[in-house]
Structure 1
Amino acid sequence: MLNEIENKTQSKGKRSIRLFLLALLIPTLLFSQDEGVEKNQEPKPEPQTKEETPTIRVKAKKETDREFLGDIEGTNIYSGKKNEVIRLDKANANLALGNTRQVYSKVPGITIWENEGSGIQPGIGARGLSPNRNWEFNTRMNGYDIASDSFGYPEAYFNPPLEALEKVEIVRGAGALQYGPQFGGMVNYVVKKADPTRPVKVEMKTTGGSYNTLNQYSSVSGTVGDWSYFVFYQGRSSDGWRENSQYNVQNGFFNLSYKVSEKLKISLEMAKSTYISQQAGGLTDEQFRVDPRQSGRTRNWFSAPWNIPAMVIDYEQSPTSRTNVKVFGLYGERNSVGVSTAANLSDPILARTLEYSPRQIDRDTYRNYGMEARQIFNYDLLDKTHTLSFGGRYFNGNTDRFRNPNGTTGSKFDLRETNLNNLCYDGSRNCRVADLEFSTLNYAGFVENLFRITDALSITPGVRYEWIRSTASGRVNESIPSATKPFGGMLQPLERVQKQVLYGLGAQYQTTKTTNLYANYSRAFRPVTYSELFAPTATLNEVDPNLKDQSGYNADAGYRGKFGQWMQFDLSIFELRYNNRVGQLPGLLPGQANFQTNVGDSLHRGAEAYLEIDPLVALTDSQPYGSVSFFTSSANVNARYIRWEDPRVLTNPASAQNFYRVGKLVENAPSQIHRYGITYHYKNVFSFTYLISYTGAAYADAANTGPFTANGQIGLIPSYTVRDFTFVWNFYENFSLRGGVNNMTNQMYFTRRAGGYPGPGILPGEGIFYFIGLSAVF
């Protein structure tokens, strides 16, 4: 079935790519002679006679929510690197609810796990990589880490409210060598800055929506002398689209900056988040068919208090030399309580008391701190000015994790353990299934140099060194699944040390003042994480205790830029090699748990295309009736296994033939991702966007199991199309109205089959949702 879907969607994708190429070639020919004209500069007018009256024409200046990073930004080099910038202050999207699908609508190839509508936890991937809580990306806010542990447990449980952000920066895999070894690249959330023009600026937004959803956002900022500040608070609550999916989230942030001198600036920041959400649990395929909004779990809850302090020092030694130092920490928790049995099993009831059985408690506590220092400066060599950027990183992460199957029997959020004083099977008084301590120590250094070979051509070689030490200690009781028995009882302290040298090379050729060709290659690395090695504390999977580290490379090349104010584009191809992938295989016998192991190597190839055209701006110097933009972001991805193995059957040739399947599709990697839209702007008064998002079918497991399993954890994830409409009306001075409809056609779909929490089973996407909000700025 998936092959038929692929054939149809691939033919559509090929036609889309041909249209993109044609659209890009025509303007290239038309503007190929404009290389000597400065950006936005009009041609020199003919000499006028005395009788003629000069006419001044002002070409329309069109603002856009999609940009590119400059060759150099701060202390970072981006020349020749695939990147996107999303300007949220100009985006037509449901920012109040954090609708990721709309925010990333103009970033080709982004896959999204839409398994809950709260917008609390991000879940994006790219180029066939898993979207699981951004864990293939280096996730940052204002340039510093905000995920649990960049190597030991790289999941992002915190997502700053989009209303508080100025922009989101995305640097793809091959371009992110200066941030770390992650395959996906880097995502950086940039918070709004203080208003430099007045001592006090107040912004207030209130948004209401379906299912008793209420979102409130307030911020205060300003500049007084050498001091500046920005503070925001955001709170959101909802009953949720599904049964048993209510949530309440609160976020706060402050930035206080002091300009010590014209060259030195010091900023202190603190972000705080707390939320409690009820988890509706997973569904089987039959349950989803009957009613996707139903829930078989009434007692599952999740919370993740998050505290991120930081200090940022910016020092400008000269106009061509700058230093940036970031000191940051993370003090957070991941708490879940509930029933994690399969979706086809009901919430268990104790026969002797006719009460619900005790709930399982999983708790993590994170205590991380680190520092990054970067330096950039220009120097002259062979009649050209070049730029050198280098820096170092120190990170110390500590995680305490435990799992106890004996929580309370109630239905409210309650993390109390009920058996700590009971005598356990091993004679101890600690009846936790797992009680572990993990640590990650990381030293890293990088250097990149932008060599300007000619006025148009530049190359940027770079190298990064990573030293990573991971440790694990504690106890795991032998009552957990059999595959982890090698870790049963008291653990002998485990220590893994990895030393990696990563390198890359980028190149850029400036074809015109506003367009360029770019190419990049870099090595990537992902160590075995303790979240993968000790997955039974969070999932129902069995785990191979001999997991190996993962390595590979990223490569991409493309053509990007804009023509005047009427066209913006980025067309590229990529190749990603991922060796020793950790994947999920179905049990060898009926009813046997899924098995998590290194399933082989995968090769990801494809094309990504973004194109936005405004024909009115192209044809006229003024737009008395507004402007209309047509945009598309599309990706064709062919992610397949080129080496396959299953350690369970290496000694059984009869079974092995069923598992060695080179050429299988990578799990959670749809081959087609297309988003199309139209945006209408009328001056600075009114605008709306209509967006169509299509995502192709994918498999949930590495073996490409087509028929779904009874518990809903394995099987095909069908293709789906979702339509959204949003508008903004600035009706009076500093007052505006923003609203819209998400999933206008009430499409029933799902993007994920979970192997464990917050499932297990199918996690449906959200149905139709209406929202309206009022904003005021004083």
Structure 2
Amino acid sequence: MTKHMKNKTLLIGFIGAASGCLFANVSAAEDAAADASIEHISIIGNQRTMELSAGSVSLVDEVELEQFEYDDIARILATVPGVNVRLEDGFGLRPNIGFRGVTPERSKKINIMEDGLLIGPAPYSAPAAYFFPLTSKMVGVEVTKGPAAIKYGPNTVAGALNMLTRPVPEADEGQLDIALGTDGYQKAHGYYGKNVTDRLGVLIEGVNLQSDGFQELDNGGDVGFEKNDFNLKVRYDLSSDGYTQELVFKANYADEKSNFTYTGLTDEDFRENPYQRYAAGQLDRMEWDHSAFTLSHFIEGNNWTLATQAYRTDLDRAWNKLNKFVSSFGETLPSLLTIVSDPTEPRHLELLAVMRGQIDSSAREILELGNNDRSLYSQGIQSDGDLRLTSGDTEHLIEFGIRFHQDEIQRNHTVENYFMRSGALTPTGEGSRATTTNTEQTDAISVYLQDTISWGDFVVTAGVRYENIDGDYQNRVPGSEDDAQQKSNDIFLPRLSALYQLTEQSVVFAGVHRGFVPTSPIQNESIEFEKSNNYEIGYRYSGKDSRFESVAFFNDYSNLIESCSFSAGCDTDLAFSGGSVDVYGLEMAASTEFSLDSGLTIPVDLMYTYTDSEFKESFYSTFSLWNFVEEGNPLPYLAEHQATLSLGLEGDNWAIKGNIVYTDAMPESGQAALTGDPLDNALAGKYTDSFTVVDLSAWYRFNQDIRLYVKADNLFDDASIVSRRPYGARPNRPQQFQVGLKYNF
């Protein structure tokens, strides 16, 4: 066996351990031909393993990613059924992603992974994802929902989002990708991979992404961003007689400087100019530095595989932003959300004029800016393996994994007071003062075991995940040593799924699993973690040029927990219980390809998601996204209908494709119930706008080395309110154009 084929065969062995899919009637050679290098770690596998998966899985591959050259993960996931997103900055810098109706707030209830490993800065202690990997460098995006979620953890209600970075190529190659666009958009992306020896390969990759931004600050100011990302990979082939194995080292450094704000607009100001920004947000700025290191070992025997990976990530971030108004005279002033929600009240109108920079502030209208300075790390070691056994007509794929994980967040928050003077923020001279100084730390041991049994046309998978979580909270303010908490949780999470192959091209499947989301160490031990029973049933057809999948799901929450962070308007991370909640819906995806006599092809893809939810009891909550909840009301920021239509025309060396994305109106709180005209509800501030965005892209390949591409995002310049949290109406990304050139060498 050649080294080239050995590497690919080993990858398939590992994918089998990671995906939980049956490899019925798929030969090793067929699988090897479909996949690339070993350290390119997929949790799904190739197209054939997806077709035979007893669960809902989706893959956006490199070809699809290159078609639209998206930098925003939200736009990529718009093609995946069952994904709910709340937009925020328009560029996807801090996405809010949920699956199957879980809160999208800071993507904290899904497992965010890179190359099969948790990539969140502190996924147990502080799961809110204020950091997100740069999408521009990814060569694949995988979404796993349903029973298979118990393999990835700790969050098992929704599922896992796994992003694939570029593997070390098996032959010397490189690429330069340069793009320019409106609003000062610039992208410079390049990589080079080389085989130093027959056994040693190296890859270096770097991306610089920047934009001047699309908003306009009152009285001027910077509203843009710049991001950098650098990767190094080293792969060494350790294969010897009887075993195929490799050692892979990956190092990453990334940073960001972005002048974005939580402060939105009044609805009236939005309708007049959706891209206005108040002068009070002129100093709002996020800065972070991120580093990650991974050492991975992969080995394959005759009927088994084992992947062991040690990892460490560090994030230092500081977000300076407008918090609220304060008064030197002890007056209680309304919140920023209250001001922009009701600008007609005389006092609110006065404060709004200060925010706009139209009038100077006095000691009764001091603007408090907070600097949320945080340091986080995540580290651990995990092993995943599989064992394939055959007994007569029965085949077993036994999969197992164990992870030792530790993460921590240190908060060093400060605030400083400012006056508004002639449209500029000026320090009052009081200096900064500390507000939140604490540490949360978590040690977790996770184990999963499952067996996929196949005989004839039946496939049954039974498995269980175990989580042991020890959390430690400490207030570090001098004199507050007694303000500490330690807690421990043990949880068993079972799954059961079944698949029946109706024909060579179609299957039906169903599954049930226990959903779980842990609480962070700061949250009181009396607060029970989130738990649910989750069900799905589906049908999948996979033909030569066509695919269709339909999955109905039902998440039965016995205890829905939400933690409120700054992005939702809370001063600190607090936990709230919503009791019993039902979330249910239907996911559909279809694709086909028409071939014309001229040699052209027309690819067509359609995605539709229906999601509904209801609180099972009435209650009042101080959680701003719930408020006065009546039984039957829906969850906030969950669109009932979502749909995406992709239509293209492709030739031998060119292609043009369009995406039409529709997102239904979403309630702004659990208090909102859609009654009467949806537009009236939107105008009343109860719901976001429903909106439709059309993206168009095209590329032309001059030869095998040079490719030109052009694209238009939001072609018809739709301007809609996508959120009013935490402090007012905010827009989606406006019409933007880009042109780029790729050179392969």
Q: CA deviation at 1:771?
A: 0.7
Aligned to 1:450: 452
SS in 1 for 2:150: coil
Contact 1:77 1:389 in 2 (8 A): no
Aligned to 1:402: 412
Query: Which of 722, 742, 745 is matched with 1:751 structurally?
Result: 722
Q: Which moved more, 1:671-680 or 1:166-175?
A: 166-175
The answer to whether 1:612 aligns with 2:591 is yes
SS in 1 for 2:402: strand
The answer to whether 1:715 aligns with 2:686 is yes
The answer to whether 1:143 aligns with 2:116 is yes
Aligned to 2:467: 466
> What are structure 1's unaligned runs of at least 5 residues?
1-35, 40-60, 62-66, 423-430, 478-487, 534-543, 586-591, 650-655
The answer to whether 1:327 aligns with 2:305 is no
How many angstroms apart in 2 are the aligned matches of 1:132 and 1:155?
A: 8
Q: CA deviation at 1:706?
A: 6.9
Q: Which moved more, 1:766-775 or 1:158-167?
A: 158-167
What per-residue deviation string (whole Å, max 9, x for no partner) do you get for residues 587-634 of structure 1? xxxxx9999721222111111100112232xxx7xx533100222100
The answer to whether 1:119 aligns with 2:84 is no
Aligned to 1:152: 125
Contact 1:673 1:694 in 2 (8 A): yes
Q: What TM-score do the two structures reach when normalised by structure 1?
A: 0.77
How many angstroms apart in 2 are the aligned matches of 1:374 and 1:68?
A: 11
Aligned to 1:739: 710
What per-residue deviation string (whole Å, max 9, x for no partner) do you get for residues 379-405 of structure 1? 123542211011111111111002211
How many angstroms apart in 1 are the aligned matches of 2:84 and 2:629?
A: 27
More contact order relative to length (CA 8 Å, sep ≥ 6): 1
How many angstroms apart in 2 are the aligned matches of 1:407 and 1:93?
A: 47
Contact 2:446 2:468 in 1 (8 A): yes
How many angstroms apart in 1 are the aligned matches of 2:309 and 2:87?
A: 33
The answer to whether 1:180 aligns with 2:182 is no
Task: Output the amino acid matched with 1:139.
Answer: I
How many angstroms apart in 2 are the aligned matches of 1:68 and 1:510?
A: 22
Counterparts in 2 of 1:207 and 1:354: CA distance versus 1, 3 Å: farther
The answer to whether 1:572 aligns with 2:538 is no
| Identity, % of aligned positions | 17
Map of 1:98-497 to 2, 5 A cutoff?
Answer: 98-182=71-155, 183-196=157-170, 198=171, 200-224=172-196, 225-244=198-217, 245-262=223-240, 263-280=244-261, 281-296=263-278, 297-318=281-302, 320-341=303-324, 342=336, 344=340, 345=352, 346-347=354-355, 359-406=369-416, 431-452=433-454, 454-474=455-475, 492-497=483-488
Aligned to 2:498: 507
Aligned to 2:647: 678
How many angstroms apart in 2 are the aligned matches of 1:317 and 1:373?
A: 16
What per-residue deviation string (whole Å, max 9, x for no partner) do you get for residues 236-284 of structure 1? 1111111252101101111101011242211010121100100143222
What per-residue deviation string (whole Å, max 9, x for no partner) do you get for residues 687-730 of structure 1? 11111111111111111167999xx9963112111111111211
The answer to whether 1:517 aligns with 2:508 is yes
Counterparts in 2 of 1:77 and 1:266: CA distance versus 1, 3 Å: farther
How many angstroms apart in 2 are the aligned matches of 1:508 and 1:545?
A: 40
Q: CA deviation at 1:100?
A: 3.1
Task: Output the amino acid matched with 2:249.
Answer: L
Contact 1:700 1:713 in 2 (8 A): no
Counterparts in 2 of 1:742 and 1:594: CA distance versus 1, 3 Å: same
Contact 1:437 1:473 in 2 (8 A): yes
What per-residue deviation string (whole Å, max 9, x for no partner) do you get for residues 737-773 of structure 1? 1111111111111322223xxxx22221111111111
How many angstroms apart in 2 are the aligned matches of 1:68 and 1:371?
A: 17
Counterparts in 2 of 1:405 and 1:553: CA distance versus 1, 3 Å: same
Q: CA deviation at 1:335?
A: 1.2
Aligned to 1:16: none
**Alignment: residue pair count:** 656
Counterparts in 2 of 1:310 and 1:681: CA distance versus 1, 3 Å: same
Contact 1:301 1:336 in 2 (8 A): yes
Counterparts in 2 of 1:181 and 1:681: CA distance versus 1, 3 Å: same
Task: Report the aligned-residue RMSD.
Answer: 3.8
Counterparts in 2 of 1:38 and 1:177: CA distance versus 1, 3 Å: closer
Aligned to 1:601: 580
Aligned to 1:44: none
Contact 1:324 1:375 in 2 (8 A): yes
Map of 1:8-87 to 2, 5 A cutoff?
Answer: 69-70=44-45, 79-87=53-61
Aligned to 2:606: 632
Counterparts in 2 of 1:501 and 1:106: CA distance versus 1, 3 Å: same
SS in 2 for 1:405: strand
What per-residue deviation string (whole Å, max 9, x for no partner) do you get for residues 545-574 of structure 1? 96432110222121124211x211211111
Q: What TM-score do the two structures reach when normalised by structure 2?
A: 0.81
Counterparts in 2 of 1:162 and 1:579: CA distance versus 1, 3 Å: same
How many angstroms apart in 1 are the aligned matches of 2:521 and 2:489?
A: 14
Contact 1:145 1:328 in 2 (8 A): no
SS in 1 for 2:271: helix
SS in 1 for 2:301: strand
How many angstroms apart in 2 are the aligned matches of 1:648 and 1:724?
A: 40
Aligned to 1:688: 656
Task: Output the amino acid matched with 2:648.
Answer: T
SS in 1 for 2:465: strand
How many angstroms apart in 1 are the aligned matches of 2:115 and 2:87?
A: 25
Q: Which moved more, 1:150-159 or 1:500-509?
A: 150-159
How many angstroms apart in 2 are the aligned matches of 1:126 and 1:648?
A: 25
> What are structure 2's unaligned runs of at least 5 residues?
1-23, 28-33, 35-41, 218-222, 325-335, 341-351, 565-570
Q: CA deviation at 1:105?
A: 3.7
